[in-house]
Structure 1
Amino acid sequence: MSTYQVVPMIYNSKEQIDSIIILEQQCKQLDSIHLKADLDHISKQDGDHALLCYCEGKLVGLLSWYPSDGVTGNINAIVHPHHRRKGVFHSLLGRAVEDMKPQGITRISYRVPQSLPSGLLTAQSLGAVHDRSEYSMQLMNMSFPAIEQVELTLSMAKPQDFEFMVSCSAQAFGDSEKWTRNYFTQTNEPSRVTYIAWRDELPVGLVRINSINETTAFIHNFCILPAYQGQKLGRQVLTLLVELLLKQKNTDIRLSVITENEHALNLYRSVGFEVNSEYQYFIGSL
């Protein structure tokens, strides 16, 4: 009977990073799908939490997680196909739960690739309920059409812009201002930058960038105040932002979008983004 050992990852351990890369490759070869360990997020100081599971000295499983709003632990995991249904994921999850409880986490969000039926079944077996489906998108066309008339400017958010950020995001996404304020506070990290969109010296929207590494940027929290929606301002903001990120030498620009949001999908495609994968999200109690 195999013996499994769960240990925390050391973010700058070359040996562990190399083992994770090998595990990703093995899963891709055996599953014919690319399970991502989110190495960029877990291999940097103050990055996502990560746990590793070993069997006879070989890495067979990984679970990473990060808190997003003070109460939700967002989980991503990969397990070697030959070691599934042997308790690897449950061992990793049990250890992660122990680490989450002292931080006030009360619920878990599981991210599962649409093309991995076993992952979907596992989430459901844990009592988690389906929350949403998202496409992961990547900028593929670097020569997108220029904006005919630019009405907006982008500037990095200042401390005095915080209340606008809370109000704009809450109105655009339908969340409470209390939840939104807590979310922005919890995700106030050096790797994240918020840009405010201005028109006629008035703030009309915002967008945030999470710099994963020196060449990879993830766009999120992109929104326009409802009073200004329908005026094609979103495309201007996105185009200005992509131009800025390219000037900053970002070669890998990503974002995600709810699969049912056709308007946003068409907007992102018009600027050169293409879908590269789909994920299902499930919510469960701790």
Structure 2
Amino acid sequence: MSSPIKQGLLKRRGLDAAELTEIKQLAALCNNHEGLDLKLNWGILRQRPSDQLNDFLYYVDGQLVGFLALFSFAAREGEISGMVHPAHRKGGIFQILFEAARQESISRGLNSLLLIVEGASPAGQAFVRHLPTTYDHSEYKMVLDGPQLPQEMHKHLHFRAAHPQDIPVLSYISAQAFQVPQDEINWYTEQKLSEANRRYYVGEVNSVIVGIIEVSFSEGSALIQGFAVLPEYQGKGYGRQMLARTVRELLRANPQSIWLEVMTENKQALALYQSCGFKEIGCYDYYRLPLKH
């Protein structure tokens, strides 16, 4: 007996291999149509928990024509990113996906959603203009284009892999560097530190951890993220040396690309990445939508 043809909205707790393939094909079509690089966090999509509703798919006669992903990196804040097949736009599909994600976010007690829209996406920009959103920030996507790395390590800096016992310090440094309440930082766990597609590094000065940096691997590429140095140790060259050491470690693994994201207004970090050989290849705008409970 054949399976019923998928039709309309499907809410998923975890994605199977067939759905991931459909999403990837739809993303490639949308990217080619508008010359975009949609932000879908593939490493996360492939490891969705089966007990949490995060992904919303829309089918027409068995074909996936719309997808929206919900992410939550902070305790009371969600992020969403999605797409609709160019031939099925202006039919209200994204509104259906968005409303399903909004209701799920409210049920979780989230206070706001960040809508991620590529700056070069007319369809995405038009959608957020019709919502009561406020502009929050923008981030450049940067890719390594010919490393320009300092040769010598700072003699006082010790660079090593993070250990589970470092987790409280990692949370503290992130809270200090990103000005986020420490009790909202929940992404450092023993499970995360042990995952094969992730690496966590720390920089120590006189046995004190002063900086952290994370790498995740997906689709043959390496993403540098969570890069933070304690404020009192910034401006001393430790961050540059940590970044250089991380890039050297990654080059040994020979990924297809090494990339990162940085807020456009963070001129100091932008200059650091540019000086080490990273170049801007895209820009993502973030719009905040308050959620009414």
TM-score, structure 2 normalization: 0.83
Tell me the amino acid that sits aligned with residue 225 of structure 2: H
Asked if residue 13 in structure 1 is aligned to residue 17 in structure 2, the reply is yes
Asked if residue 35 in structure 1 is aligned to residue 35 in structure 2, the reply is no
Tell me the amino acid that sits aligned with residue 149 of structure 2: P
Q: How does 1:1-286 map to 2 (within 5 A)?
A: 5-8=8-11, 11-14=15-18, 16-46=19-49, 49-141=54-146, 143-151=147-155, 152-180=157-185, 182=186, 184=188, 188=192, 190=195, 191-212=197-218, 215-286=220-291
Q: Distance between the aligned counterparts of 1:186 and 1:259, measured in 2?
A: 32
Q: Distance between the aligned counterparts of 1:145 and 1:39, measured in 2?
A: 28
C-alpha deviation, 1:253, in angstroms: 1.9
Q: Distance between the aligned counterparts of 1:72 and 1:101, measured in 2?
A: 10
Tell me the amino acid that sits aligned with residue 77 of structure 1: G
Q: Is the 8 A contact 1:70 1:104 kept in 2?
A: no
Q: Is the 8 A contact 1:154 1:197 kept in 2?
A: yes
Q: Distance between the aligned counterparts of 1:38 and 1:221, measured in 2?
A: 15
Q: Distance between the aligned counterparts of 1:160 and 1:186, measured in 2?
A: 9
How many residue pairs are counted as aligned between the two chains?
280
TM-score, structure 1 normalization: 0.85
Give the 3-state SS of the residue equivalent to 1:164 in structure 2: helix
Moved more, 264-273 or 151-160: 151-160
Q: Distance between the aligned counterparts of 1:153 and 1:147, measured in 2?
A: 15
Tell me the amino acid that sits aligned with residue 33 of structure 2: L
Q: Is the 8 A contact 2:43 2:217 kept in 1?
A: no
Residue 185 and residue 24 in structure 1: after superposition, are their counterparts in 2 closer, same or farther (change >3 A)? Answer: same
Q: Is the 8 A contact 2:75 2:184 kept in 1?
A: no
Give the 3-state SS of the residue equivalent to 2:274 in structure 1: helix
C-alpha deviation, 1:80, in angstroms: 1.7
Q: Distance between the aligned counterparts of 1:282 and 1:137, measured in 2?
A: 21
C-alpha deviation, 1:149, in angstroms: 4.0
Q: Distance between the aligned counterparts of 1:185 and 1:101, measured in 2?
A: 26
Q: Percent identity?
A: 29
Q: Is the 8 A contact 1:6 1:52 kept in 2?
A: yes
Tell me the amino acid that sits aligned with residue 122 of structure 1: F
Q: Distance between the aligned counterparts of 1:5 and 1:140, measured in 2?
A: 42
Q: Distance between the aligned counterparts of 2:218 and 2:123, measured in 1?
A: 29
C-alpha deviation, 1:70, in angstroms: 2.2
C-alpha deviation, 1:28, in angstroms: 3.3
C-alpha deviation, 1:187, in angstroms: 9.8
Tell me the amino acid that sits aligned with residue 148 of structure 2: F
1:38-64 CA distances to partner (integer Å, 9 max, x unpaired)? 444323454993221112222211101
1:189-228 CA distances to partner (integer Å, 9 max, x unpaired)? 7354432111232221111223335x33221121111211
Unmatched runs of 5 consecutive residues or more in structure 2: 1-5
